[in-house]
Amino acid sequence: MDKLLIEGGARLAGEIDASGAKNAALPILCATLLSADAVTLHNLPQLQDVRTTQRLLRELGAEVQAEDPTAVTVQARDLVTHTAPYELVKTMRASILVLGPLLARLGEARVSLPGGCAIGARPVDIHLEGLRAMGADIRVEGGFIHARASKLQGTRFVMDTVTVTGTENLMMAATLAEGTTLLENAACEPEIGDLATCLNAMGARISGAGTSTIRIEGVERLHGAEHRILPDRIEIGTFLVAAAMTRGSVTVRQTGSGLLDAVLRKLQQAGARIHCEADSIQLDMAGRRPVSVDVHTAPFPGFPTDMQAQFMALDCIADGVATISENVFENRFMHALELQRLGADIRIEGHMAVVRGREQLEGAPVMATDLRASAGLVLAGLVADRQTLVDRIYHLDRGYERLEEKFRALGAYVQRVTHIPQEAA
Ligand code: UD1
């Protein structure tokens, strides 16, 4: 199994390009099921989760053709089954995103329950309630969600909790419903706006995506379209935090704008000089040690839970004491135990962590527990003394494109290894 070997100490400097957003690519790939015509997507990130979603689309009968490494055309003309099998769904929770499109297009969908995952229970009750409100008959049997509706009906649905994939599933289903659907207390993440842009290009009639009330007027059918996936704000944020931690100066290109204001504000509080252009973000620490920053995760436009582990890593070596509160997921501090193995001073109390910054962390072997937790460990490794070996990096490969290559382009020593050098084992 691959591991990442990191030699700490390099001050990051240089320029890299952001990739397309994983969390936009996955729902948009699933949205192609809504039309019999060809949909071409550009700026797709090359990630394990994207490959898994393409496999799922093929299983369902769609033709998926790679135009080049970052572009694919999907044509779901003749779907052969309405069942998303457990073997695929269990490896990626986002597979639940085929539920709304399959039901709307075929009138029936069987999707394996995604189950729990390392960062919390993550139920899908709101997805199901919303589809029921649109007239679907839904049963959960034998580990599968079985949904049926000859024709979904537009409705007004107030979501109990702000859920990103829940909003996306219901928005997709509503595009082909009869009448108008109003989704209230909807998630406002930029990836939802990107999905709506793609759906509208396919002929859907969606307004308000990116606000907490989304209005979808159902149409008879959707047609083919071409769409470019928006940049990955979590990847961009991760590289900017790495630059801040190593006291470096880094420019990320192809960033879009307005995607990560809450994160940039925190980096400024940590002492970074930030310069934004229309399509790039430059961060410069001018050699200074970052100052501790408190973090309070919340749905967009609040501070993203997907950046919490990276800021915990920053606070581990910052000047001062910081409080981190995780308010989106109930069990998302597993990286704290691994950071402690590197010498970090972290105290956990329920959904709060108190992090006392240290001058220096010590390299050690550590274990990744989930996607963003692993990013936090890599960042800590970049500033730790000697070598850090991060195990179970298949988590990283689910969400970061060519991570070690991009870090190396900025001057870091990060190697993917299968045989471990003796001193780091
Ligand atoms: C998405 C993102 C993930 C990010 C998360 C929060 C994708 C593919 N993944 O995950 O990277 O960390 O948003 O920004 O876009 N909940 C319920 N019932 C439901 C659905 C959710 O109680 O039916 C709860 C969850 O347990 C969690 C909270 O709502 O506590 C938010 O989860 P949600 O926004 O649904 O996360 P995902 O969409 O799975």
What whole-number distance in Å separates Cα of residue 401 and Cα of residue 424?
25
Residue 113: the pLDDT is 87
With a 6 Å cutoff on the Cβ, whether 306 touches ligand 1 is yes
> 38, 75 in Cβ contact below 8 A?
yes
Question: CA 271: distance to chain centroid?
Answer: 26
Q: Which of 95, 98, 122 to mutate to test the pocket of ligand 1 (most atoms within 8 A of CB)?
A: 122
Considering the candidates 30, 117, 188, 276, report the single residue annotated as catalytic: 117
Residue of 250, 239, 238, 237 whose CA lies nearest to 284: 250
Residue nearest to atom 22 of ligand 1 (CA): 123
Cβ atoms of residues 156 and 182 within 8 Å: yes
Record the pTM: 0.96
d(CA 66, CA 51): 11
CA 163 / ligand 1 centre spacing (Å)? 5
Q: Residues 308, 339: contact at Cβ < 8 Å?
A: no
Strand partners, 281: 252, 276
| Catalytic status, residue 117 | yes
Residue 231 pairs in a beta bridge with 20
Question: Is residue 408 exposed (0-12), middle (13-18) or buried (19+ Cβ within 10 Å)?
Answer: middle
**Does residue 161's CB lie within 6 angstroms of at least one atom of ligand 1?**
yes
pLDDT at 1 (0 to 100):
81
Q: How far is CA 209 from the centre of its chain?
A: 18
Residue nearest to atom 26 of ligand 1 (CA): 122
Q: How far apart are CA 385 and CA 395, in angstroms?
A: 24
Q: How far is ligand 1, taken at its centre, from the CA of residue 174, in Å?
A: 20
- At residue 197, the pLDDT reads 98
**pLDDT per residue as tens, the chain (425 positions):** 889 999 999 999 999 999 999 999 999 999 999 999 999 999 999 999 999 999 999 999 999 999 888 999 999 999 999 999 888 888 888 999 999 999 999 999 999 988 645 555 568 999 999 999 999 999 998 889 999 999 999 999 999 999 999 999 999 999 999 999 999 999 999 999 999 999 999 999 999 999 999 999 999 999 999 999 999 999 999 999 999 999 999 999 999 888 999 999 999 999 999 999 999 999 999 999 999 999 999 999 999 999 999 999 999 999 999 999 999 998 789 999 999 999 999 999 999 999 999 999 999 999 998 888 899 999 999 999 999 999 988 889 989 999 999 999 999 999 999 866 555 54
pLDDT of amino acid 67: 85
Predicted local confidence at residue 43, as pLDDT: 97
Which of 379, 364, 375, 400 is closest to 243 using CA atoms? 379
Q: So what's the pLDDT on residue 351?
A: 93
pLDDT reported for residue 115:
61
Measuring from atom 8 of ligand 1, which residue has the nearest CA? 23
Report how far ligand 1's centroid is from the alpha carbon of 118 (Å).
13
Is residue 164 lining ligand 1, measured as CB closer than 6 Å? yes
